């Protein structure tokens, strides 16, 4: 079946514009599934969105299954999929899905994620078990892709105990707070070429932690401001080449480890290593996102790094469509779909 017979579909949020623009540039038909509040936005991009499939709420998405199967849809997951649909619903859908759904369990469960990173010999911040003495600054994180929502930091045991009393999340982890700068590396692994590509790098702009420095400490005293980590936007970065070498090696190890732990296919397609880099140039991974991340939206027209591999604008969204197109040409579509 040629590429004209398939429709690339995604949920209208997160990185949908990038994904669908990329799919159109590669020659696919495109459709977006959108709630009423977003119809106007997607209608204004008729130049690359062929069809808008409206649902009242995200929960109605599975009711579109028949329509999607008729269109030979290939769904491209992004950060909103599990957040909006729930894990079980997402797994049950029979529509073709770019990526490996088995990876979702490893991504969602912070313990499994840690096992994966350790298997890949990547440095991770110290994790405190229930009952451990809090002997350094910590960050407390809830589960799931929440974009930094509902995190809190504590300097010591006393502060930790106090804050935990009013913390409503049931599933969370307590991690050493690493002093350094956050750097988010975006990669793409192609099972067709067995190669990891650097796509781009960003840092997040988080409220209010990224603006506390604007108020001198002496003026903050008494205001009782707690840092929070809710992402508002993403900022593009270019990184020291020596650090890039280490990041690429980390990415390759993540893929190898995934092929062992989540065998046989492991992780493929876009992924992001979310790191904190310290003053001694140690790279700590705080999280891995096994899908396209919103930071790639800074690079819809390509990044300095994709320019090295492609003499045309290559976003992560477009790279996904290119992979599907190459797979169709090689008669290997199954290799890039779930199942
Ligand atoms: P939205 O596109 O705003 O509907 O976001 C959908 C979900 O994706 C949010 O609930 C977050 O979990 C996640 N998300 C959105 N924007 C970002 C971002 N810039 N960085 C990381 N995660 C994000
Ligand atoms: P995450 O949801 O794990 O990507 O974390 C969201 C934000 O919290 C990051 O961008 C950092 O600003 C901050 N953060 C998370 N974990 C740590 C950590 N272990 N040390 C320092 N900052 C962290």
Q: What is the pLDDT of residue 214?
A: 94
Residues with CB under 6 A from ligand 1: 13-14, 79-80, 83, 145-147, 231, 234, 293-294
**Burial category of 124 from C-beta neighbours within 10 Å (exposed 0-12, middle 13-18, buried 19 and up):** middle
User: What's the mean pLDDT when you consider all of the chain?
Assistant: 94
* Sequence-ordered list of residues with C-beta below 8 angstroms from that of 331, at least 6 positions apart, any chain: none
Q: What is the pLDDT of residue 62?
A: 87
Q: What is the pLDDT of residue 144?
A: 57
Whether residue 141 sits in one domain with residue 260: no
Find the 175 Cα to ligand 1 centroid distance in Å: 22
How many distinct structural domains can be found in the chain?
A: 3
Between CA 84 and CA 68 the distance in angstroms is 18
Q: What is the pLDDT of residue 146?
A: 59
Check pocket membership of 107 for ligand 2, CB cut-off 6 A: no
Q: What is the pLDDT of residue 91?
A: 87
Q: What is the pLDDT of residue 6?
A: 97
In tens, the pLDDT along 244-285 reads 999 999 999 999 999 999 999 999 999 999 999 999 999 999
Find the 252 Cα to ligand 1 centroid distance in Å: 26
Q: How far from each other are the two terminal CA atoms of the chain, in whole angstroms?
A: 19
* pLDDT cut 90: percent of the chain above it: 83
Q: If you take atom 18 of ligand 2, which residue's CA is the nearest one?
A: 177
Find the 203 Cα to ligand 1 centroid distance in Å: 14
Check pocket membership of 175 for ligand 2, CB cut-off 6 A: yes
Whether residue 294 sits in one domain with residue 202: yes
Find the 286 Cα to ligand 2 centroid distance in Å: 6
* pLDDT cut 70: percent of the chain above it: 99
333 found inside a domain: no
308 found inside a domain: yes
- DSSP notation for 126-162: -EEPTT----S-EEEEESSS-TTTT-EEESSHHHHHH
Whether residue 167 sits in one domain with residue 33: no
24 found inside a domain: yes
The CATH number linked to 45 is 3.40.50.20
Closest ligand 2 atom number to CA of residue 177: 20
pLDDT at residue 147 above 80? no
Q: If you take atom 19 of ligand 2, which residue's CA is the nearest one?
A: 177
Whether residue 237 sits in one domain with residue 191: yes
204 found inside a domain: yes
326 found inside a domain: no
322 found inside a domain: no
Q: What is the pLDDT of residue 168?
A: 84
Band (pLDDT 50/70/90 cuts) for residue 36 is very high
Whether residue 172 sits in one domain with residue 183: no
pLDDT at residue 301 above 60? yes
228 found inside a domain: no
Find the 79 Cα to ligand 1 centroid distance in Å: 6
Whether residue 165 sits in one domain with residue 117: no
Closest ligand 2 atom number to CA of residue 284: 19
* Sequence-ordered list of residues with C-beta below 8 angstroms from that of 119, at least 6 positions apart, any chain: 257, 260, 261
Q: What is the pLDDT of residue 84?
A: 81
Check pocket membership of 116 for ligand 2, CB cut-off 6 A: no
Whether residue 19 sits in one domain with residue 167: no
**Burial category of 138 from C-beta neighbours within 10 Å (exposed 0-12, middle 13-18, buried 19 and up):** buried
Check pocket membership of 272 for ligand 2, CB cut-off 6 A: no
Find the 140 Cα to ligand 2 centroid distance in Å: 9
Find the 294 Cα to ligand 1 centroid distance in Å: 7
Cβ neighbour number for residue 16 with a 10 Å cutoff = 26
Between CA 91 and CA 107 the distance in angstroms is 14
Check pocket membership of 303 for ligand 2, CB cut-off 6 A: no
Closest ligand 2 atom number to CA of residue 180: 21
Whether residue 304 sits in one domain with residue 193: yes
Find the 131 Cα to ligand 2 centroid distance in Å: 22
In tens, the pLDDT along 46-95 reads 999 999 999 999 989 889 999 999 999 999 999 888 778 788 888 888 99
Whether residue 251 sits in one domain with residue 134: no
Residue 156's domain spans which residues? 127-176
Whether residue 290 sits in one domain with residue 211: yes
The CATH number linked to 209 is 3.30.470.20
Whether residue 194 sits in one domain with residue 111: yes
198 found inside a domain: yes
Find the 80 Cα to ligand 1 centroid distance in Å: 7
Closest ligand, as measured to the CA of 293: 1
Q: What is the pLDDT of residue 252?
A: 98
Closest ligand, as measured to the CA of 16: 1
pLDDT at residue 145 above 60? no
Closest ligand, as measured to the CA of 35: 1
Whether residue 301 sits in one domain with residue 191: yes
Closest ligand 1 atom number to CA of residue 144: 12
Band (pLDDT 50/70/90 cuts) for residue 1 is confident
């Amino acid at each position: 079946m040629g590429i004209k017979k398939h429709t690339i579909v995604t949920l209208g949020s997160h990185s949908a514009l990038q994904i669908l623009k990329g799919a159109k540039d590669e020659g696919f038909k495109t459709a977006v599934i959108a709630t009423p509040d977003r119809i106007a936005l997607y209608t204004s991009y008729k130049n690359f969105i062929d069809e808008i499939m409206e649902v009242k709420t995200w929960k109605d998405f599975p009711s579109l299954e028949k329509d999607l199967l008729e269109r030979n849809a290939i769904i491209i997951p992004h950060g909103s999929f599990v957040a909006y649909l729930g894990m079980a619903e997402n797994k049950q859908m029979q529509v073709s899905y770019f990526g490996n759904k088995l990876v979702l369990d490893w991504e969602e469960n912070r313990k499994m994620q840690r096992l994966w990173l350790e298997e890949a010999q990547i440095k991770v911040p110290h994790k405190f078990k229930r009952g451990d003495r809090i002997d350094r600054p910590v960050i407390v994180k809830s589960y799931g892709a929440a974009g930094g929502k509902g995190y809190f930091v504590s300097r010591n045991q006393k502060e930790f105990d106090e804050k935990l009393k009013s913390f409503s999340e049931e599933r969370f982890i307590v991690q050493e707070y690493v002093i350094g700068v956050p750097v988010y590396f975006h990669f793409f692994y192609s099972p067709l070429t067995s190669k990891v590509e650097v796509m781009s790098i960003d840092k997040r702009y988080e409220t209010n932690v990224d603006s506390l420095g604007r108020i001198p400490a002496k003026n903050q005293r008494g205001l009782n401001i707690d840092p929070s980590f809710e992402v508002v936007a993403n900022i593009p970065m270019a990184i020291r080449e020596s650090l890039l070498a280490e990041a690429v090696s980390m990415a390759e190890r993540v893929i190898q480890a995934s092929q062992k732990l989540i065998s046989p296919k492991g992780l493929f397609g876009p992924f992001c290593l979310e790191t904190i880099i310290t003053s001694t140039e140690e790279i700590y991974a705080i999280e891995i996102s096994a899908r396209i991340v919103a930071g790639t939206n800074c690079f819809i027209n390509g990044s300095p790094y994709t320019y090295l591999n492609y003499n045309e604008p290559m976003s992560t969204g477009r790279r996904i469509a290119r992979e599907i197109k190459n797979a169709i040409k090689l008669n290997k579509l199954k290799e890039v779909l779930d199942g």
